[in-house]
Amino acid sequence: MSEIVVNAVSKSWGGVGGVDRISFKAEAGTLLVLLGPSGCGKSTTLRLIAGLEEVDSGTITIGGRDVTHLSPAERRISMVFQSYALFPHLNVAENIIFGLKVRRVGRAEREARLKKVADIVGLSHLLERKPSQLSGGQRQRVALGRAIIAEAPVCLMDEPLSNLDAKLRHEMRTEIRSLQQRLGMTMVYVTHDQTEAMTMADRVILMRDGHIEQNGAPHELYNEPASDFTARFIGTPPMNIIGWRDGSLLGVRPEHISLVERDGVSARVKAVEYLGADSIILCDTDGGTVCVRQTGYCSLPAGAQVELGWQNCHIHLFDKDSGKRRTGGVSPH
Amino acid sequence: MVAAVMSDAAPSAAKRRTWTTSINAWLLLLPAIVLLATFTHYPILATLYHSFFSLGRSGPAEFIGLDNYRYMLDDDVFRQVLRNNFIFAIATVPTSIALALLMAVWVDKKIVGRSFLRLAFFTPTVLPMIAVANIWLFFYTPDYGLLDQFLRFLGFAGHNWLGDPATVMSCLAVMVVWKEAGFFMIFYLAALQTIPPELKEAASVEGASRWYFFRRVTLPLLMPTTLFISINALINSFKLVDQLVIMTKGGPNNASSLLLYYIYEVAFNFWDTTYAATLTVTLITILAAVALTKFVYLDRRIHYQ
Ligand SMILES: Nc1ncnc2c1ncn2[C@@H]1O[C@H](COP(=O)(O)OP(=O)(O)OP(=O)(O)O)[C@@H](O)[C@H]1O
Ligand SMILES: [Mg+2]
């Protein structure tokens, strides 16, 4: 099958940007998400796998075949570009079947596959339109259609849903995931939306400044963040990180903090965000601002004095300087 | 209270404002209108008017209806120059466009000495036609011209390139292509640089060869430019006659004469101004037809982003 192995790959432009000696593996038939803030090297990694950028050093194999120096076409992949890259003079249908035409797929099969894909991405009624006559989200779906119609064993997607509204994004997310599983595609999916990452991924790679911060299953990133960066990135709202004794940082998730009667950390309510199913209480403490998640509606007024408490099993400790997770010897209070 | 007063005053104030706006607009347009009217529209109408009159060398000019046009259709020289002009257009327009595209695609690549190449291709454009004609006159001169010297070096006999009706048009066409192609290349180059590089990447992921991409993506996206260039080239092939003054004077035996050069001869060598007016109206009609084709027909059929 076609697993992707990236081995110690570096790429920079005159020493700046790009990625630095990254290694990871996407198992065949799984969905790997590259997650990270803007400019951390997600697109670069994807383009290196696609062969649109030359590696400076390192190797890339797809399905056991060394593709490091092969052209994009020889790598047998399909791709959704961050900027869509639609052909402006071709209509939606022609854009979607562009690759099939290149590969001389017969007309009947082309039509059949187009119909199926147009249904999936919800563009059946717009097939005659030119890209300039489409909304941003519709263009994005054309790009998506062009990638999935190829039925390539490896599919690379660069933020394919960034321009869709919440409802459509949720639908497409489910659609892409089920398609990927049904066709057994190996998919590398770039996003900076952690909800997308957590819900779709078999494995998430969190990147930062051109290197891999953490590589693991979604629950691993959530439950055992390897650094305070991961802790601050994953979760809505993310983990609370406050300065603690002996040069360490203490992290605890909002849902693991509760308001207690006494013997807690004293804090002052700054604001309450009501989300429906639960409320987020923002509190000021000595160590910084802390978010507390409480189920249901919370009626605390701003300025109220509260005590915060949590259980020892729920805390994470990080080194202040390196940001790395500290294991063992947890001594709270 | 204030609102009531304002709503009362509103219609007349609004009207006054529209008025002032139109006056302002017309005042701003005035200089351009005056210049265009004096030097373009009036002369065209005057030309049209004169083309319906006799010359009046002896006595006053008389209205003679379409006689001038009838004469024109029987004029062998007119037919020849018109034919020459069409041959000239067919020879120069597609060639210079193809060459321009080729050069543009070439210098659009990331190659060493790209700026130098671009400059080299563009240089003929900045030279005045008169200078170009003089340079090429030296190439084509019998016996000691560059071309003949070169041929003699290879062991061939010399040839009077511009003096032979069989070769004169080709010689002029080659020169005009050389001069024009660089100019058109700039337009193609500009257009090529507006094509996003991701399109090429998307096509290469799909396995499209460079030729396929060129044919199916680049060329269609360059269509508006091609149209613009071909209209310009076509108009130029009727407009540009400086080289004839320097190189052939339309000869030998009108073999290289073009419509505009013939008009010049009729008007300023033979002083037959009304016949020149007739020819001019014909030329303007041809050019207007070309321009109209662009605006009315082709613009609708070609993809614009
Ligand atoms: N062609 C290039 N030339 C120079 N620097 C580049 C180039 N492409 C990317 N970079 C740099 O490499 C770094 C990573 O860029 P990349 O496009 O991979 O970010 P990203 O993670 O995809 O960000 P985003 O979420 O904003 O798309 C950035 O600092 C960027 O400035
Ligand atoms: Mg990106």
Q: What is the CATH number of the domain that holds B97?
A: 1.10.3720.10
Structural contact between residues A260 and A309, judged by C-beta atoms closer than 8 angstroms: yes
Q: Give yes or no for residue A39 CB within 6 A of ligand 1.
A: yes
Q: What is the mean pLDDT of chain A?
A: 90
Reply yes or no on whether the pLDDT at B102 is more than 50: yes
| CA pair distance B286, A127, nearest whole angstrom | 41
| CA pair distance B188, B182, nearest whole angstrom | 10
Cα A71 from chain centroid (whole Å)? 27
* pLDDT tens for each residue of B70-84: 888 888 888 889 999
Residue B165 is predicted with a pLDDT of: 82
B47 closest CA partner among B265, B298, B273, B300: B273
Domain containing B245 equals 78-301
Q: Give yes or no for residue A40 CB within 6 A of ligand 1.
A: yes
Is the Cβ of B206 closer than 8 Å to some Cβ of chain A?
yes
| CA pair distance A302, A291, nearest whole angstrom | 14
Is the Cβ of A112 closer than 8 Å to some Cβ of chain B?
no
* pLDDT tens for each residue of A83-140: 889 999 999 999 999 999 999 999 999 999 999 999 988 899 999 999 999 988 888 8
Domains along chain A with CATH numbers:
4-223 (3.40.50.300), 237-319 (2.40.50.140)
pLDDT classification of A332: cutoffs 50, 70, 90: very low
In a domain, B16, yes or no: no
Residue A83 is predicted with a pLDDT of: 86
Reply yes or no on whether the pLDDT at B304 is more than 60: no
Residue B303 is predicted with a pLDDT of: 59
Mutational pocket test of ligand 1: of A33, A40, A192, the residue with most ligand atoms within 8 Å of the beta carbon: A40
* pLDDT tens for each residue of A178-221: 888 988 899 999 998 888 999 999 999 999 999 999 999 999 99
Percentage above 90 pLDDT, chain B: 28
Reply yes or no on whether the pLDDT at B140 is more than 90: no
* pLDDT tens for each residue of A254-284: 999 998 888 888 899 999 999 988 999 999 9
Structural contact between residues B161 and B147, judged by C-beta atoms closer than 8 angstroms: yes
| CA pair distance A105, A139, nearest whole angstrom | 24
Give the Å distance between the CA of A189 and the centre of ligand 2: 11
* pLDDT tens for each residue of A307-330: 999 988 899 999 888 888 887 545
Ligand 2 (ion): which residues have CB within 5 A?
A: A 43, 82
In a domain, B267, yes or no: yes
In a domain, B234, yes or no: yes
Structural contact between residues A205 and A24, judged by C-beta atoms closer than 8 angstroms: yes
Give the Å distance between the CA of A147 and the centre of ligand 1: 22
In a domain, B21, yes or no: no
Structural contact between residues A64 and A138, judged by C-beta atoms closer than 8 angstroms: no
| CA pair distance B273, A239, nearest whole angstrom | 92
Is the Cβ of B219 closer than 8 Å to some Cβ of chain A?
no
In a domain, B108, yes or no: yes
Q: In chain B, how many domains are there?
A: 1
Chain B: residue whose CA lies nearest to A149: B206
- Name chain B contacts of A78, Cβ cutoff 8 Å: 205-206
How many Å lie between the alpha carbon of B111 and the closest alpha carbon of chain A? 18
The number of beta carbons lying within 10 Å of the beta carbon of residue B73 is 10
Structural contact between residues B247 and B172, judged by C-beta atoms closer than 8 angstroms: yes
Q: For ligand 1, atom 19, which residue shows the shortest CA distance?
A: A39
How many Å lie between the alpha carbon of A103 and the closest alpha carbon of chain B? 7
* pLDDT tens for each residue of B28-72: 999 999 999 999 889 989 888 888 888 777 777 788 878 888 888
pLDDT classification of A333: cutoffs 50, 70, 90: very low
Reply yes or no on whether the pLDDT at B168 is more than 90: no
Residue B301 is predicted with a pLDDT of: 62
In a domain, B46, yes or no: no
In a domain, B11, yes or no: no
- Name chain B contacts of A89, Cβ cutoff 8 Å: 217, 220-221, 223, 303
In a domain, B82, yes or no: yes
Q: For ligand 1, atom 14, which residue shows the shortest CA distance?
A: A41
Residue with tokens 């070609």: B302
pLDDT classification of B299: cutoffs 50, 70, 90: low
The number of beta carbons lying within 10 Å of the beta carbon of residue A57 is 11
How many Å lie between the alpha carbon of A175 and the closest alpha carbon of chain B? 23
